[in-house]
Amino acid sequence: MQTVGIIAEYNPFHKGHAYQIEEAKKAANADFAVVAMSGNFVQRGAPAIIDKYTRTKMALEGGADLVLELPVPFATAAAPIFASAGVSLLTRLGCVDALCFGSESGNIDSLITAARTLQEEPPEYKVLLQRFLREGNSYPKSVQMAMNSMGNLLTASPNDTLGVEYIKALLASGSTMKPFAVKREGNDYHDTKLSLGFASASAIRNQIECESASSISSLSAFLPETSFSLMEKAFSHTFPITEDDFSLALGMIINAGKMTNGMDLLHAAEMTPELYDRIQRILCTGQAFTFSELAQNLKTKNITRARINRALLHCLLSISQDDMELFRASDFCLYARILGFKSNASSLLKAVKNNANIPVITKLADAKNKLDETGNKILSHELASSFLYRQAVWCKFHETLPDEFRAGIVII
């Protein structure tokens, strides 16, 4: 039995994702695909546009055989941690043979070369990186410029950048999973307009936010039939959810100057002194703001909008720098929580339960006794963030999503 792993957000699940799963199975000659998927909050520092259980069903209908939850501290982290946590989760299952990811270039050999350079950080690279940082470029841009100056043509494309991080995580952890790249087809990752072929998730989200209050009909050509049906049914009932649906909660946290765990905002994960000072200056104006307005006003040349969003989200979710250091030291994922699986994947489930070296969570009520203190702390962040998401759904639509203890595993 061969199994391929995929780390994803599926925000939302579209035809390009279904294509990637199909191609991943072909590339790895795999019988099954296991997906480590972000929950209700995602890596760009925002809520998922539709809840994780609906996205799990979309993924299973679209070709995945087993969907696991990538815990929220890692799902909302910068690319190196996001990638390392995803690799850790899939590796610890003990039965995943390959890791497949989307790529603009599709050149796995070039990505491996880039990953080795970034992992080893030769003197020439360090000098170039510091030079470009001093010139005021963001860190991701500086990395790309340093690599290109050395003749390693690393693109700034998001999937290639993340692919390099996956390979770095594989190398650092000694994982035996073999990396494969599936060339991305259709829209660019950041495209915000729909066009022929595979649309990007960004374009789909943008279109949803621009649609009338009663229809998402224009998306039917870009989504698998099941995805469209699920989204159409949930539209204006439990989705769409956006960052601005958390503006009031964020405003209370920012004005209090402390996270709900009592720690100063300066200690939030990905917060920097410069960003913290900018927040304080904006507060002094007495100006009201939405989540997106605050993030945009905080943006500078050398702090990306995604970094700002993540820092603000970590303030909101009370995820601290100390938490992240603790979780990193524990090799990230200390449990594998099943969100959903296909009923014909019994041999895969058996392999996971027999080979995983971390607890496999199928019933949330039993999790506390299966996990150590750090594992329970990771899970507590998940429960708190899911409650906040459910609260946002209720405030916006007056509809209730099932809570974490009643939702149950999605089985198709």
**Statement: residue 25 has pLDDT above 90:** yes
Q: Any known ligand binding at 19?
A: yes
Q: Any known ligand binding at 354?
A: no
pLDDT score of 193: 64
What SS3 class is residue 214? coil
Query: Who has greater pLDDT, 96 or 143?
Result: 96
Q: Any known ligand binding at 10?
A: yes
For residues 372 and 327, the answer to whether their CB atoms sit within 8 Å is no
Q: Any known ligand binding at 5?
A: no
- Distance (Å) of CA 173 to CA 73, 82, 170: 19, 14, 5
Q: Any known ligand binding at 181?
A: no
pLDDT score of 176: 95
- pLDDT of 301-341, one tens digit each? 778 899 999 999 999 999 999 999 999 999 999 999 999 99
Q: Any known ligand binding at 17?
A: yes
Q: Any known ligand binding at 356?
A: no
pLDDT score of 209: 81
- pLDDT of 208-232, one tens digit each? 887 655 678 889 999 999 999 999 9
Q: Any known ligand binding at 92?
A: no
Q: Any known ligand binding at 258?
A: no
Give the residue-averaged pLDDT of 121-132.
90
Q: Any known ligand binding at 7?
A: yes
Q: Any known ligand binding at 221?
A: no
Q: Any known ligand binding at 23?
A: no
* Among the listed residues 359, 351, 363, the one whose alpha carbon sits nearest the alpha carbon of residue 5: 351
Q: Any known ligand binding at 381?
A: no
Q: What is the pTM of this model?
A: 0.93
Buried b (16+ CB within 10 A) or exposed e, 81-91: bbbbbbbbbbb
Q: Any known ligand binding at 126?
A: no
Radius of gyration of the chain (CA): 21
CA distance 143 to 146: 5
Q: Any known ligand binding at 12?
A: yes
CA distance 48 to 329: 27
Q: Any known ligand binding at 8?
A: yes
CA distance 52 to 48: 8
Q: Any known ligand binding at 186?
A: no
pLDDT score of 138: 76
| Domains of the chain, first to last | 3-104+182-186+227-239+332-411 (3.40.50), 243-326 (no CATH)
**Statement: residue 19 has pLDDT above 60:** yes
